[in-house]
Amino acid sequence: MLLPSLSTPALVVDADAFDHNVRTMAEALPGPRCRPHVKAFKSTGLARRLATAGHRTFCAATPREIVGMARAGLGEDLLLANETLDAGRLAAMAALDARVTVAVDSDETVDAAVRAGIRAVLIDVNVGLARCGCVPADAGRLAERARRAGVEVRGVMGYEGHLMGKPDRAERAAGLEPAMAALLDAHGRVGGDVISGGGTGTFDLNHWVTEIQAGSYTLMDTAYAKAGLPFREALAVAATVIARGRSGDRSYVVADCGLKALGMDHGLPDVELADGSRASVWFCSDEHITFSLPRDADPAVLPELGSPVAVRPAHVDPTVALHERFVVVRDGVAVDEWAVDLRGW
Amino acid sequence: MLLPSLSTPALVVDADAFDHNVRTMAEALPGPRCRPHVKAFKSTGLARRLATAGHRTFCAATPREIVGMARAGLGEDLLLANETLDAGRLAAMAALDARVTVAVDSDETVDAAVRAGIRAVLIDVNVGLARCGCVPADAGRLAERARRAGVEVRGVMGYEGHLMGKPDRAERAAGLEPAMAALLDAHGRVGGDVISGGGTGTFDLNHWVTEIQAGSYTLMDTAYAKAGLPFREALAVAATVIARGRSGDRSYVVADCGLKALGMDHGLPDVELADGSRASVWFCSDEHITFSLPRDADPAVLPELGSPVAVRPAHVDPTVALHERFVVVRDGVAVDEWAVDLRGW
């Protein structure tokens, strides 16, 4: 990745790779067949590019993402694909000049939505991930509870998050069948037009749903890069080499991209060297990454003080949440900037 | 920890524990013997409490922390305990109405500081951590280079970060001896009044330095809690239970504090139950934590939907960097709020 001269660390989007990713998804799942998940990128600027590509329905994980999207004029059809009992935040979403649907999975979440004036819900169904979602057998009862209170029940959602991280495509496919059987069972009890599910890892495997919730495909990360998907790594954290040293017989390099600039839950990031190869990453501390060349590498590739390096995060979502903006780069030149304006809750 | 009713996730500071930590440090290392590290808490509001306790010298890891501290009137003696080659950010620090010292460890970092008009430096010495810092034998030459350019060289710093995470106090103590021998060797070549080093894990073991750089002691985390220090866990992320479910024969609980609200590089956080015991944490996803009771626990302790839980982060610094404010709580009541106003770079 060709990096421009920037104050670092900085989130950098490779415009060519990003365009490729957006085009690939828009061709595979045009318009409302893909409901982009803004939690992956937290940016109305980026979301606007997806709307231009035909996706004008979005989902989100936090009320603040919903409110920010609506205020940016992207509120045609917003789904909070997550539960909340926060009366104030539910009321703020209900008051938006936007079509807002929220996920519910219990008496308490239905009642909280009703009390706040939320007008539409999806019944969230547990399809195998030990997280939110009711059991399928309870979905009809919850739908009925919401409808009796005058709330539109648009259908069901179920997130097969327990499959998303499996690098083997066949394993993801095999796991989908029982997961989606549970979701369709629930849909039979609930009704409605919407069967929402999926993610980047199953976007072309999940043929049961009416719409796929995917966000990571736009930027990708080193974890998803191992999953055999047709999307390219478009995101890097640009860093600057600020020190070099020796430990025993090894030379190492230190750049200014630490764990406060990286989501670390998926492990260490990759460092891309000037020749496109990957360095051996030793560790990250708060503001630094220490790496060396692989033992068989040409020592001339060891970056000099002041030179830029591209750090490839292991997990896109929490990485983005630590930054204020994306710098969009084409041919080594910054051509645009998108604020990360949907952070927080 | 008694939690007030809050929109969650939210950073909560236990005022009693915080006061204890500040008092304990101020008694052990009064005034300038402790140079609090703002990287741990990124808040001028919190820093002001430390100034009130007698510490009016601070160190920081990013230029933005330095600029923010100076603008908040806390610029009596600010140390950037980190290297940067960023001309714009160095110039911004040099232009502050504050006493700013920066760490340097190479010809390049000395020259960048000189060009930007920085007036004082410390020579940063590698004392065993494969990160920044020159070899001791080079420290005198770098000091001479800076002095020839008209810059004040106040002394040396060396961070024994390779020892900080060792839970065994005797192991930390044993490692200090060679590390500080290297630092004193460098100081002999450099001169100056300042020998800066240390951190929370070695605050009462490192008797070689003139000042200890410590920040985590103010709030603590589950990693430092294992190190046998006299400081209390004062920080939690307040969360709300939003779902419950069953997986096999286990009941689990889901709360709205995920890995976007937690530094994850030290691993999973703890969840504190109402009776003070700790839950079994299964996993964190972006916006959720899933946990269960230990097998021998009283099922009545399983929290209800809507109830608050305290999540104890494993690493304080990157956790704070994900939030906008601390809510300070005493006896279950929010009594103050400190903005996390020093985020970013």
Whether B288 and B140 map to the same domain: the answer is no
Count of the separate structural domains present in chain A: 2
- Find where tokens 């809507």 sit: B306
Whether B32 and B158 map to the same domain: the answer is yes
Can you give the pTM of this predicted structure? Answer: 0.97
Cβ atoms A202, A294 nearer than 8 A = no
Whether B23 and B170 map to the same domain: the answer is yes
User: Is there a domain that residue A68 lies in?
Assistant: yes
Whether A58 and A86 map to the same domain: the answer is yes
Whether B203 and B258 map to the same domain: the answer is no
pLDDT computed for residue B39 by the predictor: 98
User: Is there a domain that residue A80 lies in?
Assistant: yes
Strand order in the sheet with B194-197: B34-36, B211-214, B194-197, B152-158, B120-124, B100-104, B77-80, B57-60
Whether A199 and A284 map to the same domain: the answer is no
pLDDT computed for residue B276 by the predictor: 85
Q: How many CA atoms lie within 13 A of A275 on its CB side?
A: 11
Largest CA distance in chain B: 73
Helix ranges (H only) for B272-313 are none
Cβ atoms B173, B152 nearer than 8 A = no
Of A130, A306, A324, the CB nearest to B245: A130
User: Is there a domain that residue A76 lies in?
Assistant: yes
The helix/strand/coil state of A268 is coil
Of B84, B135, B305, the CB nearest to A85: B305
For the stretch B52-57, contacts whose Cβ atoms lie closer than 8 Å and that sit 24 or more positions apart, written own/partner, are B53/B22, B53/B23, B53/B25, B53/B26, B54/B26, B54/B30, B55/B25, B55/B26, B55/B31, B56/B31, B56/B32, B57/B32, B57/B211
Whether A253 and A190 map to the same domain: the answer is no
Cβ atoms A188, A156 nearer than 8 A = no
Q: CA–CA separation, A340 vs A324, rounded Å?
A: 5
Could you tell me which residues come within 8 angstroms of residue B27 by beta carbon, excluding any fewer than 6 positions away? none
State whether residue A196 sits within 8 Å of chain B by CB: no
The Cα of A78 is separated from the nearest Cα of chain B by a number of Å equal to 18
Helix ranges (H only) for chain A are 15-28, 44-52, 63-71, 87-94, 107-116, 136-148, 161-164, 169-190, 316-320
Low-confidence stretches of chain A (pLDDT beneath 70): none
Are A105 and B243 in contact (CB < 8 Å)? yes
Which chain A residue lies closest to B316 (C-alpha atoms)? A286
Whether A236 and A215 map to the same domain: the answer is no
In CATH, what number is assigned to the domain containing residue A306?
2.40.37.20
User: Is there a domain that residue A249 lies in?
Assistant: yes
Cβ atoms B184, B127 nearer than 8 A = no
User: Is there a domain that residue B193 lies in?
Assistant: yes
* Residue A333: both structure tokens together: 């030149």
Helix, strand, coil fractions of chain A, as percent rounded to 5: 35, 30, 40
Burial class, A197, CB count within 10 angstroms (exposed 0-12 / middle 13-18 / buried 19+): buried
The predicted-structure confidence for A88-132, as pLDDT tens digits, reads as follows 999 999 999 999 999 999 999 999 999 999 999 999 999 999 999
pLDDT in single tens digits along all 345 residues of chain B? 778 889 999 999 999 999 999 999 999 999 999 999 999 999 999 999 999 999 999 999 999 999 999 999 999 999 999 999 999 999 999 999 999 999 999 999 999 999 999 999 999 999 999 999 999 999 999 999 999 999 999 999 999 999 998 999 999 999 999 999 999 999 999 999 999 999 999 999 999 999 999 999 999 999 999 999 999 999 999 999 999 999 998 999 999 999 999 999 999 999 998 888 899 999 999 999 999 998 888 888 889 999 999 999 999 999 999 999 999 999 999 999 999 999 999
Domain termination site, one of A167, A193, A219: A219
- A282 chain-B contacts, CB cut-off 8 A: 130
Burial class, B317, CB count within 10 angstroms (exposed 0-12 / middle 13-18 / buried 19+): buried
- The residues with which B14 forms a beta bridge, in sequence order, are B329
Domain range holding A275? 232-339
For residue B142, CA distances in Å to A151, B81, B103, B114, B192 come to: 71, 16, 11, 12, 13
Q: Of B165, B169, B269, B170, nearest to B229 (Cα)?
A: B169
pLDDT computed for residue B168 by the predictor: 95
- The residues with which B102 forms a beta bridge, in sequence order, are B80, B121
Cβ atoms A268, A261 nearer than 8 A = no
State whether residue A335 sits within 8 Å of chain B by CB: no
State whether residue B161 sits within 8 Å of chain A by CB: yes
Q: Of A177, A166, A178, nearest to A205 (Cα)?
A: A177
- Find where tokens 């001339």 sit: A300
Whether B212 and B298 map to the same domain: the answer is no
Whether A77 and A212 map to the same domain: the answer is yes
The predicted-structure confidence for B117-126, as pLDDT tens digits, reads as follows 999 999 999 9
pLDDT computed for residue B131 by the predictor: 97
In CATH, what number is assigned to the domain containing residue B168?
3.20.20.10
DSSP state of A269: P
Q: CA–CA separation, A189 vs A3, rounded Å?
A: 53
Whether B87 and B161 map to the same domain: the answer is yes
The Cα of B106 is separated from the nearest Cα of chain A by a number of Å equal to 8
User: Is there a domain that residue A345 lies in?
Assistant: no
Whether B54 and B154 map to the same domain: the answer is yes
The Cα of B85 is separated from the nearest Cα of chain A by a number of Å equal to 7
The helix/strand/coil state of B59 is strand
Cβ atoms A57, A81 nearer than 8 A = no
Domain termination site, one of A161, A188, A219: A219
Domain termination site, one of A219, A246, A269: A219
State whether residue B89 sits within 8 Å of chain A by CB: yes
pLDDT computed for residue B137 by the predictor: 98
User: Is there a domain that residue A344 lies in?
Assistant: no
Are A131 and B288 in contact (CB < 8 Å)? yes
Interface test with A, best of B42, B90, B111, B131 (most A CBs within 10 A): B131
